[in-house]
Amino acid sequence: MSKRPIIEPFRIKSVEPIRTTTREERQRLIEAAGYNLFLVASEAILIDLLTDSGTSAMSTEQWAAMMRGDESYAGSPSFVRFRDSIQAIFGFRHVIPTHQGRAAERILFNVMCKKGDIVPNNTHFDTTRANCEFVGAQALDLPIPEAKEPSQVHPFKGNMDTARLAEVIEREGAKKIPLVMLTVTNNSGGGQPVSMANIREVKQICKKHGIPLYIDACRFAENSYFIKLREPGYVGKSPKEIARELFSYADGCTMSAKKDGLANIGGFLCTNDDSIAQQ
């Protein structure tokens, strides 16, 4: 029987001190902020549960890559490595680098959406919703009923309600729905995973109506691992193989590299649509 290691398989080479606060000080800070955590200075935070963006340490190889990076205005081998690494996992034709995920969302919705459109999602992340609504489109959440029942056990509470998706398309018409999105994992739905079966079913509905499917891929690796652990038929596959299948059902994706990319900044927009990429 194999034993799990009792130590982490890495060395920590850099530490950053954090300041502790008293209960009374925290009370004053949060009252002064009107109980809005966005108005509390980060220096006063001991444990930050507000975000999972850019919270990981970077490896020695990542830091070394910053020194090896070629910042040429055009033709940079750094971009070629970046594009090839992404295509090896995601498989999309066009790779457009962005400074983070919200920039990829802004580009996508500005190009594909207009006022009065509807964008269904299992649950929109807050920046996704903001960028969608900024152009006048409706960000529509379609989680499965089990997602709203914390006491109910379900292996894939991040799934989209495909019956409701089909109803929305039939009622509103495909022309009002420029794209459908799936967020994996479903971060605003408690970080719950989406099953491969659900992704396939969403794709079938989209294909029937000629609607492109885009993935909010920030936690794609975590979602792939949940599929490996929980979905029949995937225990023998690697997370990378599962990810490749997952993205094969999509027409593109947005990505914040500050989550499963384990980077401090960065992101990208991918698409298989030549005209969208050109715009």
Q: What is the mean pLDDT of residues 71-94?
A: 92
CA-nearest of 261, 260, 263, 224 to 242 is 224
How confident is residue 2, by pLDDT bands cut at 50, 70 and 90? Answer: low
Q: How many whole angstroms separate alpha carbon 170 and alpha carbon 200?
A: 19
Cβ partners under 8 Å of residue 115, min gap 6: 135, 136, 137
Average pLDDT over residues 50-69: 83
Q: What is the pLDDT of residue 55?
A: 77
Report the predicted TM-score, pTM, of the whole model to 2 decimal places: 0.89
As a whole number of angstroms, the distance between CA 48 and CA 29 comes to: 15
pLDDT tens-digit map of 188-220: 888 999 999 999 999 999 999 999 999 999 899
DSSP strands (E only) in 52-162: 94-98, 118-121, 138-141
- Pick the more confident residue, 40 or 263: 40
* pLDDT attached to residue 141: 97
Name the strand (E) or helix (H) holding 246.
helix 239-248
Predicted confidence (pLDDT) per residue in 223-267, tens digit: 999 999 999 999 999 999 999 999 999 999 999 988 888 888 889
Map tokens 């998706």 to a residue.
Answer: 165
Q: Which domains does the chain have, with CATH numbers?
A: 60-67+77-278 (3.40.640.10)
Average pLDDT along the chain: 93
> CA 37 to CA 35: how far, in whole Å?
6
Model confidence pLDDT, tens digit, residues 137-191? 999 999 999 999 999 999 999 999 999 999 999 999 999 999 999 999 998 888 9
Show Cβ contacts of residue 114 under 8 Å, excluding neighbours closer than 6 positions. 135, 136, 137, 178
pLDDT exceeds 90 at position 59: no
